[in-house]
Chains A and B, each alone.
Chain A
Amino acid sequence: MADKSLELYRDNNAEDSTSILQAPGLIFLEMKLLNLLILLFITIISVHALRGYSMDGSALNFLVGAGSVPFFSWKLPVCVAILSVCLLLLLSIPCNNHPELVGKIILEYGIALGICALTGFGYTGIVMLLLADTMRYRIDWKKRIIYVTAICIAFLAMSSNHMYNLLHVIPLSQMWAYYRQDVRSSLLSVLDMLSLLNTLVFILYMVVLTLSQTSEKERILRLNSQLQNANRKLEEYAQEQVRMTETRERNRLAREIHDTLGHSLTGIITGIEACIMLMDIAPEATKEQLRAIAKVARNGITDVRHSVNALRPDALETLDLEAAIRKLVEESESSTGVKIDLVFPEGLQDLDQDEEDVLYRIVQESITNAIRHGKATHIDVRMERVDNDLRIRIADNGKGCEDIQSGFGLHHMQERIDMLKGTLSYSGKDGFVIEAVVPIRVVSEEES
């Protein structure tokens, strides 16, 4: 959870509506209604008492004792009701971050202060509403304690003597002094009971909220473990797939070898055995036979070439090296948006297939690495021929890699270059740079 953003504990996203996750919301609603009821009770009694003073002819005494003129008759309950509705509205506004929450609490405090002043500070249980509202947010405990402390201090300050004088508040006890001692004490005990009830509901709310928060955490943990399970299965499946592909390929290779090399070698062996027997009796026939064997061997080579061709990278099968690499670069650029500069030297038409394969694989692997691991946006591919060496330098502007661990890709590259007796070097300090030097066989003698 980012520090600045706030989130409410949702109370309506549970799959089943009877879940405990909905309970805090309901109890909060109960609390709001209870507070409304208490305020209504206080104001109605107060209005009655004020009317009583007028009728008894003790209005002046009351005013002198109270020290200020109260809000009279119908205005008192109406104003308290309006302010209460206003407070409920504010309580229902969700906040997205801490400044909003602080602003909201200040506004709520102001209105609560107004309500308390109008009701002669006879009831300050509204603080529970503010506390309950603040508790609904996902805040870490440190901040939560700060919020709670601040609200409590603000409310303690509210009931201080200073505030009475500042706001010209008439204490509720003074207002209700109209009633006979026994009536007054029973009215006050009703008020005490209601405010105790409010406290109990608040405690219940806190308990249920804590429970629901724990249960939500549990739910998240459960979902998390389910997700991990699924992930593991997926991985296993992917590995199985790789193994199956390998096996299939191995079978195909075995069949190919059996069909081509096996076939030719069998013919050659049979022919050579015949030659051995014929050599002394009929040298001419042996020669003839050997020619036939040579033909079989040549056919076999053609077959092997066909088989190897079938295993080559796709582009190289139909295109020459330059065209294949350009196609690779274009496709990478268009599919990933990475800018790739390519420098391709003249006169690389006469490379052998295995050399082409290796060069193509190096370029392909490096581009893939630069994009996937380096997150590069620009790749420079430079190939040049120096005497009989072909130098390849592939540099990217990605994040590079301080501590290079030779993975599968680099390992394969190294293997392939070793086969051609070349060298490979790389560095990950400033982007990632791969340099390879591959000696080129100058003349192909097996052209016929």
Chain B
Amino acid sequence: MKSLFNDFMDSRFKRLVAATILVLLSVILMSGIYQKWIPRKEKKLTIGVFAGSYWDIENGYYYRILDDAIKEFQKEYPEYEVTYTSGILKSDYSEWLAEKMLQGDVPDLFFVPGDDLLTFAGIGALRPLNNLISLDREFDPDVFYPSVYLSGQENGIQFALPYECAPNMMFVNKTILDREGIPLPDPDWTWEDFLEICGKVTHSTDGTGVINQYGVSGYSWVDAFSTNGVGLFDEEGRSCDFTTPQIGEAISFLERLQAGNSGYNVSGRDFSNGNVAFQPMMFSEYRAYKSRELSLKKYSGFEWECITMPAGPSGDNISRLDTLHVALSSRTSQEHAAWELMKLLTTDKKIQREIFDYSEGISPLKDITESEETADMILEGTGTAFNMDTLHRAMEKSVTAPRFPGYEEAREQVSIAVRSILDSNSNVQMEQIIWNRTINNYLKTRR
């Protein structure tokens, strides 16, 4: 045996060939491409998905849309067995995905929460879709709302397709406005309108002189910044510009808004008790709590409606957008099938329409969201004549905040800064410069 081995190893050429074969073997092993070559009767496709709604609203239809999509998919590709692990909580989902990645057992395609998209793209776990998109003639990115579609991009590379989304909107207590004789604001209303209404509604209603009706709750600097055209961080989160006049305007506006409450910290409970005129909320909540089917009616004591966010002097009536994406694993061996299933989930009209049936988000497909059918469905679901134009407007003007790794921590720094400026009485511009340095120092040391 040994002499046989030696004979073989005698020739230089043979040794070179053996070395080449070994290198190829290890490359094949690493890339996982060999899985494609193993002939299987039934091909396997795995999906990563979490239990429950992305919008944190329990509705009992956890996997309904996905199951329908799989059924649809198997009609065309009966040789595929599509599986997913059920019962993973949304809070554990990203960690579960990361563990799967470490174990080399990533699902072929998986849902990616908007906050984690850039994290997973950054570690190379997501398959860039650009060439799949350019090769696929059936696929047309224009069917999506542009801002929703772009939220799956980083540096021009499309990493994911939007599955469902929701803009944040301003909820209005119509009962209060009617009582005060104030009409519902225009869709292109401004901060000044907003302040005026808040001023009008903030007073005591029971004659005790203690203020018990307020203008707004839960309106944060994030809302003010996004509606005043503030771009806070650069794309990679390496630097922050906190000194712009738009930020100054936003902070002054927040100061005025706070002053109207005369020191009382208005909470979400005040809104649900019917004592507050405005509160920004995700559109998904509107759909959830307006729904007649939902036994728990959270905001039941008053009439309410949702409208666009008020525009700042340098901005627009812009809504922030939260999107649930679907992405392909960069290590998938079933690229083609996974892409087809992904397309089915995100662009198939029948599947996307089910989002309005079984979820609280809205479809990123323009045609579906703006169709008569959807309007009817929302009308039927919420029981109120909802002005669909408001939604379309919000969607067209929506933005997705940059989501670099460590975004939450950086945002917390800005929160501290804004709170501190609001609490102090010194010059806003000076404070902006000081905090600008602090935040940038933080961003530098974080890297």
Cβ 8 A contact of B18, one of A70, A89, A107: A89
Which B residues touch A66, using CB under 8 A? 123
| Cα-based distance from A37 to B19 in the complex (angstroms) | 20
B336 within 8 A of A: no
What's the least CB distance linking A389 to chain B, in Å?
A: 70
Residues from 336 to 357 in B contacting A, C-beta threshold 8 Å? none
Nearest A residue to B116 by beta-carbon distance?
A60
| Interface band, chain A | 20 to 34
What's the least CB distance linking B280 to chain A, in Å?
A: 29
B26 touches A53 (CB 8 A): no
Give the segment of A14-22, A90-98, A289-297, A429-437 that binds chain B. A90-98
Which B residues touch A78, using CB under 8 A? 26, 29
Instruction: Please encode chain A, from 52 to 94, with 1 for each CB lying within 8 Å of some chain B CB and 0 for all others.
Output: 0110010110111011111111010011001101100110111
Which B residues touch A114, using CB under 8 A? 23, 26
Which A residues touch B9, using CB under 8 A? 92
A111 within 8 A of B: yes
Which A residues touch B119, using CB under 8 A? 60, 63-64
Give the segment of B101-109, B165-173, B199-207, B384-392 that binds chain A. B101-109
B30 touches A93 (CB 8 A): no
| Cα-based distance from A71 to B330 in the complex (angstroms) | 13
Do A94 and B101 form a contact, CB below 8 Å, given A60-B94, A78-B29? Answer: no
Which A residues touch B405, using CB under 8 A? 64
A63 touches B16 (CB 8 A): no
Residues from 96 to 134 in B contacting A, C-beta threshold 8 Å? 97-99, 101-105, 119, 122-125
B22 within 8 A of A: yes
What's the least CB distance linking A119 to chain B, in Å?
A: 13
**Secondary structure call for the B interface:** helix
B103 touches A73 (CB 8 A): yes
B98 touches A63 (CB 8 A): yes
B104 touches A67 (CB 8 A): no
B102 touches A79 (CB 8 A): no
| Cα-based distance from A94 to B97 in the complex (angstroms) | 48
Which B residues touch A82, using CB under 8 A? 22, 25-26, 29
B123 touches A64 (CB 8 A): yes
Nearest B residue to A86 by beta-carbon distance?
B22
Which A residues touch B23, using CB under 8 A? 83, 86, 111, 114
B15 within 8 A of A: yes
**Secondary structure call for the A interface:** helix
Which B residues touch A69, using CB under 8 A? 101-102, 123-125, 330-331
Which B residues touch A83, using CB under 8 A? 22-23, 26
B12 within 8 A of A: yes
Nearest A residue to B95 by beta-carbon distance?
A60
- How many A-B contacts if CB must be within 8 Å? 94
A59 touches B29 (CB 8 A): no
| Cα-based distance from A141 to B22 in the complex (angstroms) | 34
| Cα-based distance from A69 to B22 in the complex (angstroms) | 23
A382 within 8 A of B: no
A129 within 8 A of B: no
Number of residues of chain B lying within 8 A (CB) of chain A: 31
What's the least CB distance linking A296 to chain B, in Å?
A: 86
Which A residues touch B30, using CB under 8 A? 71, 75, 79
A67 touches B123 (CB 8 A): yes
Which B residues touch A48, using CB under 8 A? none
A412 within 8 A of B: no
B22 touches A79 (CB 8 A): no
Nearest B residue to A78 by beta-carbon distance?
B29
| Cα-based distance from A73 to B95 in the complex (angstroms) | 18
Which A residues touch B125, using CB under 8 A? 63, 69
A39 within 8 A of B: no
Output the residue of A59, A71, A94 with the most chain B CB within 10 A.
A59
| Cα-based distance from A89 to B21 in the complex (angstroms) | 11
Cβ 8 A contact of A62, one of B22, B94, B98, B124: B98
Residues from 80 to 105 in B contacting A, C-beta threshold 8 Å? 94-95, 97-99, 101-105
Cβ 8 A contact of A70, one of B29, B102, B105, B406: B102
Which B residues touch A379, using CB under 8 A? none
Output the residue of A54, A63, A79, A83 with the most chain B CB within 10 A.
A63
Instruction: Please encode chain B, from 1 to 21, with 1 for each CB lying within 8 Å of some chain A CB and 0 for all others.
Output: 000000001001001101100
B19 touches A89 (CB 8 A): yes
A168 within 8 A of B: yes
| Cα-based distance from A272 to B105 in the complex (angstroms) | 134
A168 touches B102 (CB 8 A): no
| Cα-based distance from A63 to B102 in the complex (angstroms) | 8
Nearest A residue to B22 by beta-carbon distance?
A86
| Cα-based distance from A107 to B97 in the complex (angstroms) | 37
B12 touches A54 (CB 8 A): no
What's the least CB distance linking B272 to chain A, in Å?
A: 34
A376 within 8 A of B: no
A93 touches B95 (CB 8 A): no
A62 touches B95 (CB 8 A): no
| Cα-based distance from A70 to B106 in the complex (angstroms) | 12
Cβ 8 A contact of A59, one of B19, B26, B98: B98
| Cα-based distance from A247 to B78 in the complex (angstroms) | 112
A50 within 8 A of B: yes
Which A residues touch B102, using CB under 8 A? 50-51, 53-54, 59, 62-63, 69-70, 72
B103 touches A75 (CB 8 A): no
B19 touches A86 (CB 8 A): yes
Do A54 and B15 form a contact, CB below 8 Å, given A79-B29, A86-B22? Answer: no
Which B residues touch A89, using CB under 8 A? 15, 18-19, 22
Which B residues touch A107, using CB under 8 A? 19
Do A93 and B15 form a contact, CB below 8 Å, given A59-B95, A59-B102, A82-B22? Answer: yes
What's the least CB distance linking A293 to chain B, in Å?
A: 90
What's the least CB distance linking A362 to chain B, in Å?
A: 59
Instruction: Please encode chain B, from 309 to 341, with 1 for each CB lying within 8 Å of some chain A CB and 0 for all others.
Output: 000000000000000000000110000000000
Which B residues touch A72, using CB under 8 A? 101-105
Cβ 8 A contact of B104, one of A71, A92, A93: A71
What's the least CB distance linking B402 to chain A, in Å?
A: 16
Cβ 8 A contact of A54, one of B19, B26, B103, B331: B103
Nearest A residue to B11 by beta-carbon distance?
A93
What's the least CB distance linking A126 to chain B, in Å?
A: 15
Which B residues touch A70, using CB under 8 A? 102
Which A residues touch B406, using CB under 8 A? 64
Instruction: Please encode chain B, from 22 to 61, with 1 for each CB lying within 8 Å of some chain A CB and 0 for all others.
Output: 1101100110000000000000000000000000000000
Instruction: Please encode chain A, from 25 to 64, with 1 for each CB lying within 8 Å of some chain B CB and 0 for all others.
Output: 0000000000000000000000000110110010110111
| Cα-based distance from A57 to B25 in the complex (angstroms) | 32
B122 touches A67 (CB 8 A): yes
Nearest A residue to B405 by beta-carbon distance?
A64
| Cα-based distance from A361 to B125 in the complex (angstroms) | 96
| Cα-based distance from A64 to B120 in the complex (angstroms) | 8
Instruction: Give 8 nearest A-B pairs by CB, closest first.
Output: A72-B104, A59-B98, A60-B98, A86-B22, A59-B99, A82-B26, A89-B19, A54-B99
Residues of A whose CB lies within 8 Å of any CB of B are 50-51, 53-54, 57, 59-60, 62-64, 66-73, 75, 78-79, 82-83, 85-86, 89-90, 92-94, 107, 111, 114, 168
17 A-B interface contacts by CB (under 8 A): A60-B94, A60-B119, A63-B125, A67-B122, A68-B123, A69-B331, A71-B30, A71-B104, A72-B102, A72-B103, A75-B104, A83-B22, A86-B22, A86-B23, A89-B15, A89-B18, A111-B19
Task: Other than A57-B95, A75-B30, A93-B12, give 5 A-B pairs with Cβ distance below 8 A.
Answer: A60-B95, A63-B102, A66-B123, A72-B103, A89-B19
